[in-house]
Structure 1
């Protein structure tokens, strides 16, 4: 059995009389297990007589008792109990579960006070000490809310003697805005008769140090219960308040610092968070990474130190305390707060400008004058370091707040600066990667679009404002027969890897376009490539996350036919010469990288002067609006298209993208179709008779004379002779010869129904053949073959106007 002292919860060695309280312990089964001497005084039963018996045996016959539920850990109330001599006593009891975690299995401690009445005289010191000797600042106000009495603690806090301020109101005593607000609470308690707790923060009396107080206000009632005044006790919560403020500042710093991946913006966020919560003026100076090859400096430092001002913030408008302008580089010598803290690698607090900073202020009279002008009395310099590298220094100063920096302030500044340092380092790393990715992206995208007889084109590429450079690309690829291919694609992801993948896909598209694959076949080959890239990007037994979308279109200015295919890419829009813009219905196709799924081509005829708009999803996808609104804005911008495609590109970007920049990469390609007049095309059906090659050459010469291209007649005759002869000898009927020309190029095409493509080879000395295509390759600008649905076409291009 536990001793009485341990049961009481007062701990061993309690030196005073315990018999003033009746105490018992009842176990979970309702059996008495402990019985104190005070309980014997109350009911007359000795411990040996009741311990081990049910507690219910002590209830009077007519007593009503409701057992507490398992959720109740405390019970109080009056009960009729049996005295040992048979009398019934009405006793007020208070009971607590000693181990609430055990629920109904817990013991109950039951107590009752035996000496609750005050038998002391009215002038007993305990009565008078209630106010005078209270450790809390206490004040009593009358029914007019004028001061009636305060104790010595309150007098010390307000720094005024009681006899001087008795009869004054709270605002008359305090003289601060918080005092008027406090009087409103006093009035509410006086009128309602209900207690109130009020937290205030300010300076009490003549003390310049701000303090936080919890004011507990209660009504004072007379014997009849009428409210005669109010009593207020004030509890100093300054330490708790400051701890909450520090925690709030750290939490705010975690939210407000690092919202972007911009170095100067992040530095400014550090300054903004700390003013005025921690300091009256904050400056952030960073080391210039260009001085260290673009990397943060991780070696030992020596004075003087060159730093660039990244941010500053003051409680005064315009930051008049700042000596250095934003973006300006300044040199900080030894003994300056910036250099000293960087060299020491820890925060340094200077609280006496006249001595601690005297050498530095003497070296820099401008700063010395600012210190004297604004009354700067304390400075704290905190190094900005992250991942073992020194990024710069943050300087905190106070002049409006009279109190110097404390050790808690130093820890707080270190915590906030450390968070900002990580964000600044992340921003620098992102900026370096972004610059690298942009340089790579620009080098992989076409610098200028080729001038072709098929289309007039203009383009735009914008990297994402925040997410970094991605893998969007566009291209215009001249094809044989005056045709042109237009492509727009988008690699999933951002950064250097996405840009590199984009470069590989763009090269693959140009290679596949060079062999004149149909759009659906080209996307099939490109899909296989993306699948292989995914396998290469994965680790052991895994597949990498490489994916892309693409739109590929081929336009023929002779037939004015356009063939398109897309792989999970947004469909293009078109603006006819005399109609409203509309979306082209192209079979969607799966994104690249899924593998094994088919792609379909869509073919349509375009009138000359039709504007095609090919773009990536970054142009139309936005958090501020849905896709239908984006498409509507795009159609409106296209409808305003005038003569210049460059102006239309600019108008489209201005209409669809926010001023702060796109959230994703944007690639836009506009192309206005041209048509080649029939007068610049000549076609002949060729009989499979070698003897007719000579008459065909003569017809070609006459056609060139009609076109006034006689300077190209000799070369063209040789090329036509070789290609037609090869088609008659090795091809299958029907055979067709076609000449096409514009201002700069003459194209010779020979088509037949055979699918066997010729190849260039070097003939040996005694070979009778094999020199035809070699001769064609030497006489023309370029040559090649392409497969068609009817067979193949061998073509050769001659540049006009050259000797």
Structure 2
């Protein structure tokens, strides 16, 4: 290489310029197959090749290291097919050293390159190449710097710039050799400590990289990866020999190099940020956060979270203390498998003692840095944990504990450790770890909030949907609810089954227009209103009119569709009324044929001013009624008629059970693309009640008819083979019939007994006033009848229709 005399001095500069060796470096590692295995951000900026386009590609296509890959490359210039035009190289001596009994050569050079992407821009590259001897796939370490930048930023003329060349020197020949040795790992790629240590030893043996300005001026290349400069801080001292002539580097290079470490760490943090938070699933996010630190930043990472965070509950209450339980939710390390499993198992709940660095981080919310865990500190920490010896795992390691915070609340913390053979954590690592934890805390809080909102949505939706009894009097019921894909899984679709007097059942399906909390709240109000009016035996058409009035009083935006049907299993009739809802499907048991019931459509609830009509449909035992919301049959871009046809076809499909029939419909219709709305599906098999399971009598309003009522009930229960129910039934019938006779006003009293899963007794009279349970004293002669009924009956109630009322009660059949 060209050598300048000792009098050579760059123009305009004098002694005392102390930042000569601080140059930005690209760091590249080549494996034994000649492929790039590491490509730093500096290499990306220098050569203009992204990391993904470099890793795994031949180094000969990307680097101007002529002669360094002698087994793979010719000694002459690189051909065009390598992706580079090389104009010049060959500056710098070759040095020879002995490593492990083998010979390795370190080479340096300078090359002027024209990347294909931009033939008008020349890159003047200084490079150093070190062969890597020993086990492992790494073969060559390459350091590269931009000589063009050295020239342009400091105003060198071409002659002066040509005197700058790459070379080597024994680090012991330079001042502060120990500092050089300590800093050398910082310019190497972050790989395992074993490989990193091996590379350091070989670089020190083969020669420290230097910039040569003359044969006397050799400036060590020492990029600074530490804390960025603060205001008022003077230029950092350079590790340069004290000679008569001070070598210099371009103007502004020291600032770039001063911040090179910060840029590298920011790139690491950006890579971590892009790799975590890919899912809002809390468990997956925890695993991403923990694994992001290993092995690039630490050799061990353990994440601990507060119980409220892990459960997806609300924000944790108050600051943590000694009673705060932390759960170890994830552990990552690159030690031998199983080494940490018994001592720090995942899933363990731990309350950290007060005199530990973990507790300090937890309560202060600040990082805790221990460069090396001494034996004394290791013994003290281990002593705070009963039946657990942490000393073999933490002694000699570098320890960094960083808090996981969101909105200034500590959610947990991460424990980070490095093995003894790896550089200890320093202040910059503390800053980097804190920033890593801050980003991780935000991601974890987002996942926690999402989990919490999902739990709230599920709880709200579940609380508003009924717990439907699958067996009603004379019919079996099955339901399905599918949340929509929008707005937190909360919607306004609902279904309901309501037990009515006379063994009847009300079947309801409704759909509030819109989505989200407002729709769910409106749905809850409407469902409650339907429940109330149904138990008052409001006829279907009148019920929808009342519901319409209520919706308009609640607000202008209260719009909903609703289908209300009352099934009478004794008469085999359906009474239906529709308020703008899609029609139901009736599947006939006789021939398996399905049909859409032709009902007066009506206007949606909340429109107002539109009459509602009811329709009576005769049904037979075994027929199935299918009611659903439009989310099942309506898909954007498709005609709703196609969905209704598919509903009829799938509803008619034979099924072994009601649940299987519902699943068949869901599979047939829900797989159609584009569904975003929620779905409510209700299916009822209308079994009916056989005539011989119903007994009905008319009684005169005469006290003597009470004895007759007891006798009629006894005879019928014995005929049905239910002798164990006779005594209680006679007592309850006697009390209810007595009340009816006393208040009937001379009219007739009706008595009906229906046998289903239970015994239903109904007593009807001409007095519309509903009975009330009265408080009675020890000497009162009346007022205890309904109290007896309430105590002995499974259920009881009363309803009024027109000028008549019905008091009913149910009695459990023994053995059922």
Q: TM-score range by the shorter chain?
A: 0.5 to 0.7
Q: Give the secondary-structure state (helix, strand or coil) at the position aligned to 2:550.
A: helix
User: Which of structures 1 and 2 has the larger relative contact order (alpha carbons within 8 angstroms, sep 6+)?
Assistant: 2
Is the CA contact 2:593–2:652 (under 8 Å) kept in the aligned structure 1? yes
Matched, 1:510 2:522: no
- Which residue matches 1:144? 76
Residue 557 in 1 paired to residue 569 in 2? Answer: yes
Partner SS for 1:672:
strand
What is the deviation of 1:589?
5.7
Corresponding residue for 1:522?
Answer: 543
1:288 aligned partner: 307
* Aligned with 1:299 (options 319, 327, 332): 319
DSSP-derived class of the 2:399 partner:
strand
Are 2:770 and 2:800, in contact at CA under 8 Å, matched by a contact in 1? Answer: no
Provide the secondary structure at the position in 2 that maps to 1:150.
Answer: coil
User: Aligned pair 1:455/2:475, yes or no?
Assistant: yes
- Is 1:745 the equivalent of 2:757? no
Please report the RMSD computed on the Cα atoms of aligned residues, expressed in angstroms: 6.5
Task: State yes or no: 1:759 paired with 2:769.
Answer: yes
Deviations 1:118-143 (A, max 9, x none): xxxx999999999xx99879999697
Q: Is the 8 A contact 2:372 2:397 kept in 1?
A: yes
In structure 2, what is the equivalent of residue 415 of structure 1? 435
TM-score, normalisation: structure 2: 0.55
Matched, 1:345 2:365: yes
Give the 3 Å change call, closer, same or farther, for CA 612–287 of structure 1 in structure 2. same
Report whether the alignment pairs 1:330 with 2:342.
Answer: no
Partner of 1:605: 618
Distance in 2, Cα, partners of 1:479 & 1:564 = 15
Deviates more, 1:480-489 or 1:608-617: 608-617
Distance (whole Å) between structure 2 residues aligned to residue 557 and residue 202 of structure 1: 93
Counterpart mapping for 1:91-240 below 5 A = 144-145=76-77, 149-150=90-91, 161-162=93-94, 213=144
SS at match of 2:90: strand
Instruction: Encode CA deviations 1:289-339: one digit per residue, 9 max, x unaligned.
Output: 39999751423635x864211223346797855642332113444564422
Shift of the 685–430 alpha-carbon distance from structure 1 to 2, 3 Å rule, reads same
- Take 2:115 and 2:453, find their aligned partners in 1: how far apart are those partners? 64
**Residue-by-residue CA offset, 1:664-702 (whole Å, 9 max, x unaligned):** 87655332112234566799999xxx999x99x999999
Q: Which residue in 2 is equivalent to 1:268? A: 287
SS at structure 2 position matched to 1:517: coil
Give the secondary-structure state (helix, strand or coil) at the position aligned to 1:516.
Answer: coil
Deviations 1:608-645 (A, max 9, x none): 21233445577779999999998899778756664443
Please say if residues 294 and 333 of structure 2, whose CA atoms lie closer than 8 Å, have aligned partners that are also in contact. Answer: yes
Secondary structure of the corresponding residue to residue 555 of structure 1: strand
SS for the counterpart of 1:505 is helix
Contact 2:24–2:260 (Cα < 8 Å) also in 1: no
In the alignment, the residues of structure 2 paired with residue 314 and residue 358 of structure 1 have an alpha-carbon distance, to the nearest angstrom, of 19
Give the unaligned 5+ runs of structure 1: 1-121, 152-160, 166-171, 219-230, 535-542, 729-735, 752-756, 763-773
Matched, 1:467 2:488: yes
Kindly report which structure 2 residues correspond to 1:3-82, keeping only aligned pairs within 5 A, or say none.
none
> How many residues were matched structurally?
600
Give the distance between the partners of 2:505 and 2:610, measured in 1 at CA. Answer: 26
The residue aligned with 2:414 is 394
Q: Are the structure 2 counterparts of residues 307 and 189 from structure 1 closer, same or farther at C-alpha, using a change threshold of 3 Å?
A: closer
Distance 1:617 1:330 in 2: 51
Q: Match for residue 786 of structure 1?
A: 801
What corresponds to 2:392 in structure 1? 369
Does the aligned pair in 2 maintain the 1:547–1:591 contact within 8 Å? yes
CA distance in 2, matches of 1:358, 1:624: 68
* Residue of structure 2 equivalent to 1:481: 502
Give the conservation status (yes or no) of the 8 Å contact 2:65–2:129.
no
Contact 1:335–1:357 at 8 Å: present in 2 too? no
The residue number in structure 2 matching 1:86 is none
CA distance in 1 between counterparts of 2:599 and 2:272 reads 50
CA drift of 1:427 comes to 4.8
Q: Deviations over 1:586-617 (max 9, x none)?
A: 66666555555665656533332123344557
TM-aligned CA distance change 1:471 to 1:371, over 3 Å? farther
Sort the Cα spacing of 1:194 and 1:387 in 2 relative to 1 into closer, same or farther, 3 A.
closer
Q: State the secondary structure of the residue aligned to 2:472.
A: coil
Change (3 A) 1:588 1:607: same
- 1:260 and 1:336 map into 2 onto residues whose CA distance is 33
Does residue 1:673 correspond to 2:605, yes or no?
no
Q: Does 1:576 align with 2:588?
A: yes
Cα deviation per residue 1:413-462 (whole Å; 9 max; x = unaligned)? 33343343344445545656665675666566554627433311234567
Higher mean C-alpha deviation, range 644-653 or range 387-396: 644-653
- Provide the rounded CA distance (Å) in 1 between the counterparts of 2:550 and 2:812: 41
Which digits, 9 at most, give the CA deviation of each residue in 1:90-146, with x for residues without a partner? xxxxxxxxxxxxxxxxxxxxxxxxxxxxxxxx999999999xx99879999697139
TM-aligned CA distance change 1:162 to 1:645, over 3 Å: same
Deviations 1:269-301 (A, max 9, x none): 322444455444432101233999975142363
Distance 1:331 1:745, change over 3 A: closer
8 Å CA contact retained: 1:612, 1:670: yes
2:404 to 364, 374, 384: 384
* Structure 2 spans left out of the alignment, 5+ residues: 15-19, 26-63, 68-74, 79-87, 98-103, 150-163, 167-210, 212-220, 224-255, 721-725, 773-783
Call closer, same or farther: CA 1:196–1:261 in 2, change over 3 Å. same
**Structure 1 341/679 Cα, relative in aligned 2: closer, same or farther at 3 Å?**
closer
Answer yes or no: is the 8 Å Cα contact 2:319–2:363 preserved in 1: no
**What TM-score results when the alignment is normalised by the length of structure 1?**
0.55
